[in-house]
Amino acid sequence: MIGDKKIVYSAVQPTGCITLGNYIGAIGNWIKLAEEYESIYAIADLHALTVRQVPSEYRQRALSFFAQYIACGIDPKKSILYFQSHVPQHTELTWILNCFTYIGETSRMTQFKDKSAKHADNINVGLLDYPVLMAADILLYQTDYVPVGIDQKQHLELSRDLAIRFNNLYTPTFTVPEPYISKQGAKIYSLQDPTKKMSKSDSDVNATVSLIDTPEDIMRKFKRAVTDCDAYVSYDEKNKPGVSNLLTILSAVTGKNIESLVKEFEGKGYAELKSVCGEAVVEKLRPIREEYGRLIKDKAYLTETAKAGAAAARGIAQKTLSKVYRKVGLVEG
Ligand code: TRP
Protein backbone atom coordinates (compact mmCIF):
# COMPACT_ATOMS: atom_id res chain seq x y z
CA MET A 1 0.00 0.00 0.00
CA ILE A 2 1.03 3.57 -0.63
CA GLY A 3 -1.31 5.76 1.41
CA ASP A 4 -4.61 3.93 1.13
CA LYS A 5 -4.00 2.62 -2.36
CA LYS A 6 -2.97 -0.85 -3.42
CA ILE A 7 0.02 -1.18 -5.69
CA VAL A 8 0.05 -2.40 -9.26
CA TYR A 9 3.36 -3.24 -10.92
CA SER A 10 4.21 -4.33 -14.42
CA ALA A 11 7.08 -4.17 -16.85
CA VAL A 12 7.83 -4.78 -20.49
CA GLN A 13 11.00 -5.85 -22.24
CA PRO A 14 12.12 -3.35 -24.89
CA THR A 15 12.39 -5.87 -27.70
CA GLY A 16 10.64 -6.01 -31.06
CA CYS A 17 8.03 -3.30 -31.43
CA ILE A 18 4.98 -2.30 -29.41
CA THR A 19 2.02 -3.63 -31.36
CA LEU A 20 -1.63 -2.86 -31.76
CA GLY A 21 -2.17 -6.09 -29.81
CA ASN A 22 -0.16 -4.77 -26.85
CA TYR A 23 -2.06 -1.51 -27.01
CA ILE A 24 -5.51 -3.08 -27.07
CA GLY A 25 -4.62 -5.78 -24.55
CA ALA A 26 -2.01 -4.67 -22.03
CA ILE A 27 -1.48 -0.93 -22.29
CA GLY A 28 -5.15 0.00 -22.14
CA ASN A 29 -5.28 -1.99 -18.95
CA TRP A 30 -2.23 -0.26 -17.47
CA ILE A 31 -3.87 3.11 -18.09
CA LYS A 32 -7.12 2.03 -16.44
CA LEU A 33 -5.34 0.54 -13.45
CA ALA A 34 -3.41 3.77 -12.95
CA GLU A 35 -6.72 5.49 -12.18
CA GLU A 36 -7.54 3.20 -9.30
CA TYR A 37 -4.20 2.04 -7.92
CA GLU A 38 -0.74 3.33 -7.23
CA SER A 39 0.90 2.19 -10.43
CA ILE A 40 4.55 1.48 -11.12
CA TYR A 41 5.63 0.53 -14.64
CA ALA A 42 9.12 -0.31 -15.85
CA ILE A 43 11.00 -0.80 -19.07
CA ALA A 44 12.70 -4.11 -18.22
CA ASP A 45 15.95 -3.32 -19.99
CA LEU A 46 18.06 -5.70 -17.87
CA HIS A 47 15.80 -8.64 -18.63
CA ALA A 48 16.21 -8.28 -22.37
CA LEU A 49 20.03 -8.53 -22.07
CA THR A 50 19.56 -12.28 -21.61
CA VAL A 51 19.52 -12.43 -25.40
CA ARG A 52 22.10 -10.57 -27.50
CA GLN A 53 21.21 -7.00 -28.40
CA VAL A 54 22.98 -4.59 -30.73
CA PRO A 55 23.94 -1.81 -28.27
CA SER A 56 23.17 1.25 -30.41
CA GLU A 57 19.83 -0.17 -31.57
CA TYR A 58 18.96 -1.35 -28.10
CA ARG A 59 19.50 2.06 -26.50
CA GLN A 60 17.35 3.67 -29.18
CA ARG A 61 14.61 1.06 -28.86
CA ALA A 62 14.42 1.31 -25.06
CA LEU A 63 14.02 5.08 -25.28
CA SER A 64 11.45 4.66 -28.04
CA PHE A 65 9.42 2.27 -25.85
CA PHE A 66 9.53 4.78 -23.02
CA ALA A 67 8.24 7.54 -25.32
CA GLN A 68 5.58 5.27 -26.82
CA TYR A 69 4.20 4.38 -23.41
CA ILE A 70 3.85 8.05 -22.58
CA ALA A 71 2.33 8.75 -26.00
CA CYS A 72 -0.24 6.01 -25.36
CA GLY A 73 -1.43 7.74 -22.23
CA ILE A 74 0.70 6.40 -19.38
CA ASP A 75 0.98 9.68 -17.53
CA PRO A 76 4.31 9.95 -15.70
CA LYS A 77 2.62 12.25 -13.20
CA LYS A 78 0.12 9.55 -12.29
CA SER A 79 2.32 6.47 -12.61
CA ILE A 80 5.94 5.87 -11.75
CA LEU A 81 7.50 5.09 -15.13
CA TYR A 82 11.20 4.20 -15.21
CA PHE A 83 14.00 2.12 -16.64
CA GLN A 84 14.82 -0.96 -14.59
CA SER A 85 18.57 -0.38 -15.07
CA HIS A 86 18.30 3.03 -13.37
CA VAL A 87 17.30 1.40 -10.09
CA PRO A 88 20.21 -0.74 -8.80
CA GLN A 89 18.06 -2.23 -6.04
CA HIS A 90 16.63 -4.65 -8.63
CA THR A 91 19.93 -6.44 -9.13
CA GLU A 92 20.80 -6.18 -5.44
CA LEU A 93 17.60 -7.89 -4.36
CA THR A 94 18.05 -10.43 -7.14
CA TRP A 95 21.29 -11.60 -5.50
CA ILE A 96 19.59 -12.13 -2.17
CA LEU A 97 16.64 -13.91 -3.75
CA ASN A 98 19.04 -16.10 -5.75
CA CYS A 99 20.19 -17.51 -2.46
CA PHE A 100 16.63 -18.59 -1.71
CA THR A 101 15.79 -20.03 -5.14
CA TYR A 102 16.48 -23.63 -6.09
CA ILE A 103 18.04 -24.29 -9.49
CA GLY A 104 15.27 -26.81 -10.10
CA GLU A 105 12.68 -24.05 -9.77
CA THR A 106 14.13 -21.85 -12.48
CA SER A 107 15.32 -24.60 -14.80
CA ARG A 108 11.85 -26.03 -15.08
CA MET A 109 10.29 -22.76 -16.26
CA THR A 110 8.67 -23.09 -19.67
CA GLN A 111 10.21 -19.86 -20.88
CA PHE A 112 13.71 -20.98 -19.87
CA LYS A 113 13.26 -24.19 -21.81
CA ASP A 114 11.87 -22.38 -24.87
CA LYS A 115 14.58 -19.74 -24.89
CA SER A 116 17.31 -22.33 -24.33
CA ALA A 117 16.07 -24.22 -27.35
CA LYS A 118 15.88 -21.05 -29.42
CA HIS A 119 19.29 -19.70 -28.38
CA ALA A 120 21.15 -22.98 -27.99
CA ASP A 121 24.50 -21.22 -28.47
CA ASN A 122 23.84 -18.80 -25.62
CA ILE A 123 22.18 -20.51 -22.67
CA ASN A 124 23.57 -18.03 -20.18
CA VAL A 125 23.08 -17.82 -16.43
CA GLY A 126 20.96 -14.71 -16.92
CA LEU A 127 18.42 -16.73 -18.85
CA LEU A 128 18.11 -19.12 -15.91
CA ASP A 129 17.97 -16.24 -13.46
CA TYR A 130 15.43 -14.22 -15.45
CA PRO A 131 12.45 -15.12 -13.23
CA VAL A 132 14.37 -14.21 -10.07
CA LEU A 133 15.07 -10.73 -11.43
CA MET A 134 11.38 -10.50 -12.23
CA ALA A 135 10.52 -11.53 -8.66
CA ALA A 136 12.86 -8.79 -7.40
CA ASP A 137 11.09 -6.25 -9.65
CA ILE A 138 7.76 -7.14 -8.16
CA LEU A 139 8.69 -7.70 -4.52
CA LEU A 140 10.75 -4.50 -4.15
CA TYR A 141 7.58 -2.43 -4.46
CA GLN A 142 5.38 -4.48 -2.09
CA THR A 143 3.18 -5.09 -5.10
CA ASP A 144 -0.41 -6.22 -4.61
CA TYR A 145 -1.35 -6.89 -8.25
CA VAL A 146 0.62 -7.73 -11.36
CA PRO A 147 -1.18 -7.43 -14.70
CA VAL A 148 0.51 -9.99 -16.94
CA GLY A 149 -0.39 -12.25 -19.80
CA ILE A 150 -0.88 -15.95 -19.35
CA ASP A 151 2.70 -16.62 -20.55
CA GLN A 152 4.06 -14.91 -17.43
CA LYS A 153 1.88 -16.70 -14.87
CA GLN A 154 4.52 -19.27 -14.07
CA HIS A 155 7.04 -16.55 -13.32
CA LEU A 156 4.58 -14.78 -11.11
CA GLU A 157 3.97 -18.02 -9.26
CA LEU A 158 7.70 -18.16 -8.47
CA SER A 159 7.59 -14.58 -7.18
CA ARG A 160 4.83 -15.60 -4.82
CA ASP A 161 6.71 -18.70 -3.67
CA LEU A 162 9.84 -16.66 -2.95
CA ALA A 163 7.88 -14.03 -1.03
CA ILE A 164 6.17 -16.68 1.08
CA ARG A 165 9.43 -18.58 1.64
CA PHE A 166 11.27 -15.46 2.81
CA ASN A 167 8.37 -14.29 4.99
CA ASN A 168 8.23 -17.69 6.69
CA LEU A 169 11.98 -17.96 7.25
CA TYR A 170 12.20 -14.47 8.77
CA THR A 171 9.21 -12.26 9.52
CA PRO A 172 6.67 -10.83 7.07
CA THR A 173 8.74 -8.73 4.69
CA PHE A 174 7.16 -8.93 1.26
CA THR A 175 3.58 -8.49 0.14
CA VAL A 176 2.59 -11.67 -1.70
CA PRO A 177 1.58 -10.46 -5.18
CA GLU A 178 -1.55 -11.61 -6.98
CA PRO A 179 -1.89 -11.88 -10.74
CA TYR A 180 -4.31 -9.34 -12.16
CA ILE A 181 -6.32 -11.00 -14.85
CA SER A 182 -8.25 -8.34 -16.67
CA LYS A 183 -11.87 -8.87 -17.60
CA GLN A 184 -11.61 -6.96 -20.80
CA GLY A 185 -8.93 -6.23 -23.36
CA ALA A 186 -9.43 -8.37 -26.42
CA LYS A 187 -6.77 -10.75 -27.59
CA ILE A 188 -5.41 -9.78 -30.98
CA TYR A 189 -3.90 -12.31 -33.36
CA SER A 190 -1.26 -12.14 -36.08
CA LEU A 191 -2.48 -10.71 -39.40
CA GLN A 192 -0.56 -13.43 -41.26
CA ASP A 193 -1.35 -16.41 -39.04
CA PRO A 194 -4.54 -15.61 -37.13
CA THR A 195 -4.21 -18.69 -34.94
CA LYS A 196 -1.11 -17.16 -33.32
CA LYS A 197 -1.03 -14.20 -30.94
CA MET A 198 0.15 -10.90 -32.46
CA SER A 199 3.66 -10.98 -31.05
CA LYS A 200 5.96 -8.00 -30.67
CA SER A 201 8.91 -10.14 -31.70
CA ASP A 202 7.36 -11.68 -34.83
CA SER A 203 9.96 -11.64 -37.63
CA ASP A 204 7.26 -11.24 -40.31
CA VAL A 205 6.67 -7.48 -40.47
CA ASN A 206 3.28 -8.01 -42.11
CA ALA A 207 2.02 -10.01 -39.14
CA THR A 208 1.98 -7.12 -36.69
CA VAL A 209 0.95 -3.49 -36.64
CA SER A 210 3.37 -1.29 -34.73
CA LEU A 211 2.02 1.72 -32.87
CA ILE A 212 4.30 3.94 -34.89
CA ASP A 213 3.75 2.43 -38.34
CA THR A 214 2.87 4.97 -41.02
CA PRO A 215 -0.74 5.06 -42.30
CA GLU A 216 0.50 3.56 -45.60
CA ASP A 217 2.14 0.64 -43.82
CA ILE A 218 -0.97 0.02 -41.76
CA MET A 219 -3.25 0.02 -44.81
CA ARG A 220 -0.89 -2.32 -46.68
CA LYS A 221 -0.74 -4.76 -43.76
CA PHE A 222 -4.53 -4.91 -43.46
CA LYS A 223 -4.94 -5.37 -47.21
CA ARG A 224 -2.63 -8.38 -47.00
CA ALA A 225 -4.25 -9.82 -43.88
CA VAL A 226 -4.94 -13.54 -44.16
CA THR A 227 -8.66 -14.39 -44.21
CA ASP A 228 -10.28 -17.51 -45.69
CA CYS A 229 -11.93 -18.77 -48.87
CA ASP A 230 -15.54 -17.97 -47.94
CA ALA A 231 -16.86 -14.67 -49.07
CA TYR A 232 -19.03 -13.51 -46.18
CA VAL A 233 -18.24 -11.69 -42.97
CA SER A 234 -19.14 -13.47 -39.78
CA TYR A 235 -17.62 -14.01 -36.38
CA ASP A 236 -16.42 -17.58 -35.94
CA GLU A 237 -13.08 -17.86 -34.13
CA LYS A 238 -12.66 -21.52 -34.95
CA ASN A 239 -13.48 -21.65 -38.64
CA LYS A 240 -12.84 -18.04 -39.60
CA PRO A 241 -9.98 -16.88 -37.35
CA GLY A 242 -8.70 -14.22 -39.76
CA VAL A 243 -12.04 -12.52 -40.28
CA SER A 244 -12.89 -12.82 -36.59
CA ASN A 245 -9.59 -11.16 -35.72
CA LEU A 246 -10.36 -8.25 -38.05
CA LEU A 247 -13.78 -7.87 -36.43
CA THR A 248 -12.21 -7.95 -32.96
CA ILE A 249 -9.72 -5.26 -33.96
CA LEU A 250 -12.42 -3.11 -35.53
CA SER A 251 -14.59 -3.52 -32.46
CA ALA A 252 -11.73 -2.60 -30.12
CA VAL A 253 -10.74 0.55 -31.99
CA THR A 254 -14.25 1.83 -32.74
CA GLY A 255 -16.02 0.72 -29.56
CA LYS A 256 -18.82 -0.87 -31.62
CA ASN A 257 -19.83 -4.37 -30.66
CA ILE A 258 -19.11 -7.32 -32.90
CA GLU A 259 -22.76 -8.13 -33.65
CA SER A 260 -23.48 -4.69 -35.00
CA LEU A 261 -20.31 -4.83 -37.09
CA VAL A 262 -21.32 -8.17 -38.59
CA LYS A 263 -24.66 -6.59 -39.55
CA GLU A 264 -22.89 -3.61 -41.08
CA PHE A 265 -20.88 -5.94 -43.29
CA GLU A 266 -23.78 -8.06 -44.46
CA GLY A 267 -23.46 -8.57 -48.20
CA LYS A 268 -20.01 -6.97 -48.26
CA GLY A 269 -16.71 -8.63 -49.02
CA TYR A 270 -13.39 -8.99 -47.26
CA ALA A 271 -11.73 -6.19 -49.21
CA GLU A 272 -14.13 -3.73 -47.68
CA LEU A 273 -13.70 -5.14 -44.17
CA LYS A 274 -9.93 -4.89 -44.53
CA SER A 275 -9.93 -1.31 -45.69
CA VAL A 276 -12.49 -0.14 -43.09
CA CYS A 277 -10.48 -1.89 -40.41
CA GLY A 278 -7.19 -0.40 -41.67
CA GLU A 279 -8.65 3.10 -41.75
CA ALA A 280 -10.09 2.77 -38.25
CA VAL A 281 -6.72 1.64 -36.92
CA VAL A 282 -4.94 4.49 -38.70
CA GLU A 283 -7.30 6.99 -37.05
CA LYS A 284 -6.99 5.38 -33.64
CA LEU A 285 -3.20 5.41 -33.77
CA ARG A 286 -2.84 8.85 -35.36
CA PRO A 287 -2.76 10.88 -32.12
CA ILE A 288 -0.36 8.38 -30.54
CA ARG A 289 1.97 8.50 -33.49
CA GLU A 290 1.89 12.30 -33.56
CA GLU A 291 2.52 12.60 -29.84
CA TYR A 292 5.33 10.05 -30.14
CA GLY A 293 6.85 12.11 -32.95
CA ARG A 294 6.99 15.13 -30.66
CA LEU A 295 8.28 13.24 -27.62
CA ILE A 296 11.07 11.32 -29.32
CA LYS A 297 12.60 14.60 -30.50
CA ASP A 298 12.45 16.04 -27.00
CA LYS A 299 15.42 14.23 -25.44
CA ALA A 300 15.57 16.65 -22.52
CA TYR A 301 12.00 15.88 -21.52
CA LEU A 302 12.52 12.12 -21.83
CA THR A 303 15.72 12.24 -19.77
CA GLU A 304 14.12 14.37 -17.06
CA THR A 305 11.05 12.16 -16.92
CA ALA A 306 13.13 8.99 -16.70
CA LYS A 307 15.25 10.53 -13.94
CA ALA A 308 12.22 11.54 -11.92
CA GLY A 309 10.66 8.09 -12.37
CA ALA A 310 13.84 6.33 -11.26
CA ALA A 311 14.21 8.57 -8.22
CA ALA A 312 10.67 7.81 -7.11
CA ALA A 313 11.18 4.09 -7.70
CA ARG A 314 14.48 4.04 -5.80
CA GLY A 315 12.83 5.65 -2.80
CA ILE A 316 10.36 2.79 -2.46
CA ALA A 317 12.78 0.05 -3.49
CA GLN A 318 15.47 1.01 -1.00
CA LYS A 319 13.05 0.70 1.92
CA THR A 320 12.36 -2.92 1.02
CA LEU A 321 16.00 -3.70 0.29
CA SER A 322 17.20 -2.26 3.64
CA LYS A 323 14.66 -4.40 5.45
CA VAL A 324 15.84 -7.49 3.58
CA TYR A 325 19.53 -6.78 4.24
CA ARG A 326 18.78 -6.37 7.93
CA LYS A 327 16.73 -9.55 8.14
CA VAL A 328 19.33 -11.76 6.51
CA GLY A 329 21.95 -10.43 8.94
CA LEU A 330 24.09 -8.06 6.88
CA VAL A 331 25.96 -5.43 8.89
CA GLU A 332 24.32 -2.04 8.53
CA GLY A 333 26.32 0.41 6.44
N1 TRP B 1 8.92 -10.96 -18.12
C2 TRP B 1 7.92 -10.02 -18.50
C3 TRP B 1 7.53 -10.26 -19.97
O4 TRP B 1 8.32 -10.71 -20.75
C5 TRP B 1 8.39 -8.61 -18.35
C6 TRP B 1 8.63 -8.29 -16.91
C7 TRP B 1 9.83 -8.07 -16.32
C8 TRP B 1 7.63 -8.14 -15.92
N9 TRP B 1 9.64 -7.78 -15.00
C10 TRP B 1 8.30 -7.82 -14.72
C11 TRP B 1 6.23 -8.23 -15.95
C12 TRP B 1 7.61 -7.61 -13.53
C13 TRP B 1 5.54 -8.01 -14.76
C14 TRP B 1 6.22 -7.72 -13.56
O15 TRP B 1 6.42 -9.95 -20.34
Domains of the chain (ranges; CATH) run 7-180+298-328 (3.40.50.620), 215-293 (1.10.240.10)
Cα pseudo-dihedral 145, 146, 149, 152, rounded to 10: -120
Catalytic residue among 200, 221, 240, 284: 200
Alpha-carbon radius of gyration of the chain = 21
Q: Do 130 and 91 meet the contact criterion of CB atoms below 8 Å apart?
A: no
Report d(CA 63, CA 53) in Å as an integer.
Answer: 14
Residue type at 154 in one-letter notation: Q
Computed over every residue of the chain, the mean pLDDT equals 95
From the alpha carbon of 13, which atom of ligand 1 is closest?
A: 5
Q: List, chain by chain if needed, residues with CB within 6 Å of any ligand 1 atom.
A: 9-13, 44, 47, 134, 137-138, 146, 148, 152
The burial of 167, by beta-carbon neighbours within 10 Å (0-12 exposed, 13-18 middle, 19 or more buried), is given as middle
Q: Which pLDDT score, from 0 to 100, does residue 188 have? A: 93
Q: How far apart are CA 324 and CA 315, in angstroms?
A: 15
How close is the Cα of 147 to the center of ligand 1, in Å? 9
- The tens digit of pLDDT for each residue in 160-192 reads 999 999 999 999 999 999 999 766 567 899 999
323 is catalytic: no
Q: pLDDT: is 121 or 148 the higher one?
A: 121
Active-site residue flag, 200: yes
156-161, long-range: CB < 8 A, 24+ apart: 158/101, 158/105, 158/106, 158/109, 158/131, 158/132, 158/134, 159/131, 159/134, 159/135, 161/105
User: What is the reported pTM?
Assistant: 0.94
